[in-house]
Amino acid sequence: MVALRKKAAWSGTKKTKNNFEEDASHAEEATDDLLWGTNTVLEALRRNARSLGELLVQKGKAGPKIQEIVDLAREHKVRVRFVEAERLPVPRNCRHQGVVARQTEAELLPLEELLEQALADSHRILILDSIQDPRNLGSILRSALAAGFRSIILTRERSAPLSGTVARTSAGAISHLRIAQVVNLVTTLELLKEHGFWIYGSVVEASAPSIYSTDFSGQLGLVIGSEGKGIRPLVRKHCDQLVTIPMSTDFDSLNA
């Protein structure tokens, strides 16, 4: 808090009590989904690895316990990243011991289990290709549930973690969804096709058929691309059909 006051004085901006409360709230939000310390993270992996979306390990840190943590994370297909100490998103002076785990607000399922359940009920899967803004992700999950989707596939890399921000923006929808993370989205699309899914890709091109004139019956997978670039080219090539949401004006207000 002292550092915040010094920064405000230097910038010449007067901060009110509400400003400081907001800063504290943002700081808490940034760490409310984190676990750190070798014993804490190891216990979380042993008890419920599905509740963890990512493991961050400080470069240069080694030892039997850290190796056990990394091996266990990889066994349970938890994303593992090795980063410099300053890249660990933890409060200053905390005893993180070089290991930080990011919890998810939804238990992640193996792809095979999610596919089995999707085939048993809704027959539709939403596939998100590199959605990086947590509020966008939360809004999409909320809309997906309203549109009848129960199964969601996310890319493991280049995607926003399923944090508290995502959960709050989804207005609780995240707790009603089945979610899996995959490394190779192209391979995943081919697997879905083998099980009878027709893959639609969402684009902004006016030449693509409108979603309002498209028959979405049967088993379907709908791919939505990232905020800036949309669906990646290779992923797009593996879509069976491209569709678009027509806008009533020239202003394109949908960024994902």
In 3D space, the residue among 144, 176, 140 whose CA is nearest the CA of residue 160 turns out to be 140
Judged against a pLDDT cut of 90, whether residue 114 lies above it is answered with yes
- Arithmetic mean of pLDDT, 83-94: 87
Nearest-angstrom CA–CA distance, 133 and 224: 13
Nearest-angstrom CA–CA distance, 39 and 55: 14
Residue in the structure block whose two tokens are 């216990």: 43
Which has more pLDDT, 202 or 156?
202
Percent of the chain residues topping a pLDDT of 70: 85
For 12, 173, 214, 221, the CA distances from 122, given in Å and listed in that order, are: 56, 16, 18, 11
Judged against a pLDDT cut of 70, whether residue 109 lies above it is answered with yes
Q: For residue 158, what pLDDT is reported?
A: 85
Q: Picking from 69-78, 157-166, 176-185, which range would have the lowest pLDDT averaged per residue? A: 157-166
Which has more pLDDT, 21 or 208?
208
What stretches of 16-155 show up as alpha helix (H) in DSSP?
A: 17-31, 38-48, 64-75, 111-120, 134-146
Q: For residue 52, what pLDDT is reported?
A: 87
Both tokens of 70, joined, read: 């990394």
3-state secondary structure of 14: coil
- Arithmetic mean of pLDDT, 217-232: 92
- Arithmetic mean of pLDDT, 83-98: 88
Both tokens of 193, joined, read: 């096709």
Judged against a pLDDT cut of 90, whether residue 179 lies above it is answered with yes
Give me the domains of the chain, ranges plus CATH numbers. Answer: 27-103 (3.30.1330.30), 107-243 (3.40.1280.10)
5 exposure class (CB count in 10 Å sphere: 0-12, 13-18, 19+): exposed
Does residue 233 come out as left (phi exceeding 0), alpha (psi in the -120 to 50 range) or beta? alpha
Which has more pLDDT, 251 or 146?
146
Q: For residue 3, what pLDDT is reported?
A: 35
Nearest-angstrom CA–CA distance, 52 and 107: 8
166 contacts 179 by C-beta, under 8 angstroms:
no
Judged against a pLDDT cut of 70, whether residue 155 lies above it is answered with yes
> Phi/psi at 216 (nearest 5 deg)?
-100, 25
151 contacts 117 by C-beta, under 8 angstroms:
yes
61 contacts 23 by C-beta, under 8 angstroms:
no
Report the length, in residues, of the chain. 256
Q: For residue 12, what pLDDT is reported?
A: 39
Residue in the structure block whose two tokens are 């806008």: 247
